[in-house]
Each structure stands twice: as C-alpha cells, then as structure tokens.
Amino acid sequence: MTNALTLAEALHDLPQLPTERLLLRRLTLEDAADVFAYASDPGVTATLNWETHLSIDDTLEFIGSMLDLYRDDRGAVWAIQLLATGTVIGTIGYNRLDQGGYVGEVGYALARPHWRQGLMTEALRAVLDYGFRHMGLRRIEATCRIDNIGSYRVMEKCGMTLDGVLRDARYVKGRLESIRLYSLLRRDYERAYRSDHRRRLRGASGADDSSDAVAEDTAGGR
C-alpha cells in the first residue's frame, strides 16, 4: 500500500498555512513582481540550483510551472507572504515526493531584506507539520550546500538532523558541490510534538492530553 491517496488529497486541497507573521499560500501570477524582486537577486540565488531571473518573463514562467503543479495536484509549494505588508517574500515547498509518496524533499528561498529574523524557521515548521500531519509523509529531507550555514541552521532549529555529507554530489552552475543531507522522521516529530504538547498542558493545568497528536500510523512498518 502506498501513500498515493492521502498525498493526492492533501495536494488537491492544498491549504493556506497561517503562522505568527506569515501566510503561506498558493502562488498566483499577480505575485510576479514580488517574486522577481528576490529571484533576480544573485545574492539569493547563489546557493540555489535555479538560475537568477533576468526578466519578469523568467518569473512568469516559474510561476506558470507552479500553477501547472497545482492544476495536476502534483505540487506542494507555497508563496511566503508577510502578513504585515502583504508582500510575497519567498517560497517554500516540496520539490520532490517519492518512495511511494512517503518521502518528501523540502526547499526554500527568502528575499534578502528579511533574512535572519527567524522567518524561514517559522515557515519550515508549518510546512513540516503539514507534511507529517496531512500529506502522510514519513521522512522529510532537505539538502544544502555544505557551507550554507543559514539554511542548515534553519533545518536544525526545526528538529532536522544531519544524515551526512554527500561529497561532490551535485553539479550546479558549472561546478560540483558537496551537500549536507538533513532529515526528520515522522516518528521523531510525533514524539517531540507529543512531549511539547504535554509540557504546554502541564504548564496550563497539570493535565495531560495527546489527542491532538499526529494521526496514528496506518500502513505499519515504521
């Protein structure tokens, strides 16, 4: 039994994910100017495997490919909209969903003026939660260039752990790069979620209740 059905439903109904300072939502063509503002910044794209956008047409093509994914229920990519201004300042989502639909790889990018304010950590927490609780994922991976400290600190702050360094594993923009591979398993996420939930409840009333925890495993083999 694969995770195909659960995944298809979660992608079909891809919801908005509100966080304290952000709204994660589907991209639209109206976001093109905001997306171009950071996608055309070589300081943002240097560590990414896609090219710097040179004109708004590149951005429209990129958003068009996301709209195709939404239409075919194949993609879980969210625009990161800053609640305070309404501006789209980045994207985050699952670039790859495979292994029977149980494994997803997450990727993200943020406009430079918004770096180091904890925003991507906030966004990734919401996307991991959706991946485990609604998409049926068992393992969520992320990779980054070996020296991309901002990216792997985000992963670590969200509870992901280093599986290892893959030497010269990726050919990007004319050179081979070594990458860090991080992951988080649903069973570890669930454990952390439950203990955090209990801690909060103990703080509030001394009672315990884990009814809100990640849905029980139904396919076995964890």
Ligand X SMILES: CC(C)(COP(=O)(O)OP(=O)(O)OC[C@H]1O[C@@H](n2cnc3c(N)ncnc32)[C@H](O)[C@@H]1OP(=O)(O)O)[C@@H](O)C(=O)NCCC(=O)NCCS
Alpha helices in 56-171 (DSSP H): 56-71, 119-133, 149-157
- The residue (of 90 and 136) whose beta carbon lies closer to ligand X is 90
Main-chain phi, psi angles of 138, to 5 degrees: -105, -25
Q: How far apart are CA 103 and CA 118, in angstroms?
A: 26
CB of 115 to ligand X, least distance (A): 4
Number of residue whose CB is nearest ligand X: 150
CB of 27 to ligand X, least distance (A): 16
CB of 219 to ligand X, least distance (A): 29
CB of 109 to ligand X, least distance (A): 4
- The residue (of 125 and 187) whose beta carbon lies closer to ligand X is 125
The answer for residues whose C-beta is within 8 angstroms of residue 98's C-beta and 6 or more apart is none
CB of 111 to ligand X, least distance (A): 8
- The residue (of 147 and 217) whose beta carbon lies closer to ligand X is 147
- The residue (of 14 and 44) whose beta carbon lies closer to ligand X is 44
Task: Name which of 43, 20, 1, 26 is nearest 80 in CA terms.
Answer: 26
Q: How far apart are CA 37 and CA 22, in angstroms?
A: 18
Task: Name which of 104, 84, 111 is nearest 23 in CA terms.
Answer: 84
- The residue (of 26 and 157) whose beta carbon lies closer to ligand X is 157
The one-letter amino acid at 37: A
Q: How far apart are CA 199 and CA 16, in angstroms?
A: 28
Q: State the DSSP code for 55.
A: S
Which residues of this chain interact with ligand X, rule CB under 6 A?
Answer: 44, 47-48, 107-110, 115-121, 144, 148-151, 153-154, 157
| Distinct helix (H) and strand (E) counts, the chain | 7, 8
- The residue (of 15 and 118) whose beta carbon lies closer to ligand X is 118
CB of 33 to ligand X, least distance (A): 19
Dihedral sign from CA coordinates of 142, 149, 166, 192? negative
